[in-house]
Amino acid sequence: MPSYPDFVSKYPAYDKTHNLDDLREREYGRLDRLGQVYLDYTGGGLYADSQVRRHLDLLLGSVFGNPHSSNPTSLAATQLIESARRAVLDFFHAPPDEYIVVFTQNASGALKLVGEAYPFGRGCHYLLTFDNHNSVNGIREFAHAKGADVTYVPLMLPDLRVDEKMLAGYLDLGLAGCAPAPSGGAGNLFAYPAQSNFSSVLHPLEWIEQAHAKGWDVLLDAAAFAPTNPLDLSKWKPDFVPLSFYKMFGYPTGIGALIARKSVLGKLHRPWFAGGTITVASVQGGKYYLAEGPAGFEDGTLDYLNIPAIEIGLKHLEAVGLDLIHERVRCLTGWLLEGLSALRHSSGVPLARVYGPLTTEKRGGAVTLNFFDKEDHPIDIRLVEQAASERGISLRTGCFCNPGAGEIALQISQMELAACFSQQSHIQRLTYDDFRTCIDDKASGAVRISVGMVSNFEDVQAVLKFAEGLVE
């Protein structure tokens, strides 16, 4: 098996990222102490010891009350929430006169806020790439319910990227027939991920302005992108950016954000009101008035004890440096792709089939693949995960909530899916196992190995060694 000198001679930039090894030793020592090979950074990031300590010190050194009041403990909480909001804007270089930050439970919560409130009217369009997380796909149900058209932009094999010329054609869809939604307003929305959580493809940020120029509002899903790529909202101007903070710096879980452009926020019509979101609501008067800005979108009591940990996490990530992380991730991903591609059975059959780009160009640090035996039959992903787990390796298997990319990668046709769904239409709930059987085991999913902030050469060697063990 090639060794470290081979690696650095191919990826000399790795040698400039050794600060991350010191960081791992200092702040993430539990990984090596507990013999964990963590390779699921696209699933969730890891926290530094000091993030937790700082947060704990903050909680132990103050008294915080529910923020919706003007007593001292309430004000203390409000102050930290507002400071965290500013920290999010600063982190993404989002001009405060242009963007606001709405705290949500996670990226999915942010997406639901947009979906349920977006003015999809009859003849309006919801345009989205095949490559999207289910929480972006799910918005189509709001669009359908309001009579809008839903259109998917396909992906091209083998790289699972979008054909740019084809995209331009989709963006030319006639928007003139977009009628006002029952709640007022009208709009056409284009949604795509800045980085795929399936193939790790980095889709061009240039699409944002191309879509704007043709009259679309743009939802840029940054959940998989933000942990290892800088997103500069003074340069790129998407209208809605959902994200989850645990993916960026591991702690706390349960908090995400919708970063939204003020100019488009007025288009959203929330379907309800809740505690904290109104200026006035009356029982006898039967009226309510939504609060301006983020408050109008934050239902009930915010997670006010954990939100201060967001600012701590952002400062941590800033201090480490996204460019440094990006570079290390690039080197390790390249090495992983090369190592996996080199493995072959004695029969000549390649061990691994990677879905998505095979080089580090315009891609992130997740490698999604299936392993095949020497007769070229896929090795069951459940067995792969189990065998990896026995070696202390955390990787992820399944479809990663991205069925569109999965269907194209695994070459499951629309006809096969339609036949399967019509056969099963009499049942209320289709289990994943039923679906697998119906689709002839083609939808068995894939294995995703993803590197991140404190991944190192040894982690990648461990998974390559594991893969080598599958060679017959």
Ligand X SMILES: Cc1ncc(COP(=O)(O)O)c(C=O)c1O
Which of the residues are catalytic?
Answer: 401
Pick the binder of ligand X from 121, 193, 339, 364 (CB under 6 A).
193
Total chain residues near ligand X (CB under 6 A): 12
> How far apart are CB 345 and ligand X at their closest, in Å?
32
Contact at 8 Å (CB) between 114 and 240? Answer: yes
Q: How far apart are CA 24 and CA 98, in angstroms?
A: 37
Q: How far apart are CA 195 and CA 204, in angstroms?
A: 9
Which one of 20-28, 56-64, 101-109, 304-312 is the stretch in contact with ligand X (CB under 6 A)?
A: 101-109
Does residue 224 touch ligand X according to CB under 6 A?
yes
> How far apart are CB 65 and ligand X at their closest, in Å?
28
Does residue 106 touch ligand X according to CB under 6 A?
yes
* Contact track, ligand X, 58-87, x by CB under 6 A: ------------------------------
Q: How far apart are CA 313 and CA 7, in angstroms?
A: 31
> How far apart are CB 109 and ligand X at their closest, in Å?
7
Does residue 104 touch ligand X according to CB under 6 A?
no
Pick the binder of ligand X from 197, 333, 368, 397 (CB under 6 A).
197
CA of 367: how far to CAs of 275, 313, 392, in Å? 43, 26, 19
Phi-psi region of 401 (alpha: psi -120 to 50; beta: other; left: phi over 0): left
Does residue 124 touch ligand X according to CB under 6 A?
no
Does residue 450 touch ligand X according to CB under 6 A?
no
Does residue 396 touch ligand X according to CB under 6 A?
no
135 vs 370, beta carbon nearer ligand X? 135
Does residue 267 touch ligand X according to CB under 6 A?
no
Pick the binder of ligand X from 51, 108, 200, 360 (CB under 6 A).
108
Pick the binder of ligand X from 77, 81, 94, 107 (CB under 6 A).
107
Pick the binder of ligand X from 125, 133, 261, 316 (CB under 6 A).
133
Does residue 244 touch ligand X according to CB under 6 A?
yes
135 vs 397, beta carbon nearer ligand X? 135
Q: How far apart are CA 223 and CA 248, in angstroms?
A: 8
* Contact track, ligand X, 141-160, x by CB under 6 A: --------------------
Does residue 137 touch ligand X according to CB under 6 A?
no
Does residue 258 touch ligand X according to CB under 6 A?
no
Q: Which candidate, 349, 340, 363, places its Cα nearest to that of 447?
A: 340
Contact at 8 Å (CB) between 381 and 179? Answer: no
Within its chain, how far is the Cα of 397 from the centroid?
Answer: 16
14 vs 236, beta carbon nearer ligand X? 236
Question: 100 has which bridge partners?
Answer: 260
Which one of 7-15, 102-110, 181-189, 418-426 is the stretch in contact with ligand X (CB under 6 A)?
A: 102-110
Pick the binder of ligand X from 135, 199, 200, 229 (CB under 6 A).
135
Q: How far apart are CA 246 and CA 130, in angstroms?
A: 25
Buried b (16+ CB within 10 A) or exposed e, 295-326: bbbbbeebbbebbbbbbbbbbbbeebebebbb
Q: Which candidate, 147, 218, 158, places its Cα nearest to that of 183?
A: 147
Q: How far apart are CA 120 and CA 177, in angstroms?
A: 12
Does residue 333 touch ligand X according to CB under 6 A?
no
Does residue 200 touch ligand X according to CB under 6 A?
no
* Interacting residues toward ligand X by CB under 6 A: 106-108, 133, 135, 193, 197, 221, 223-224, 244, 256
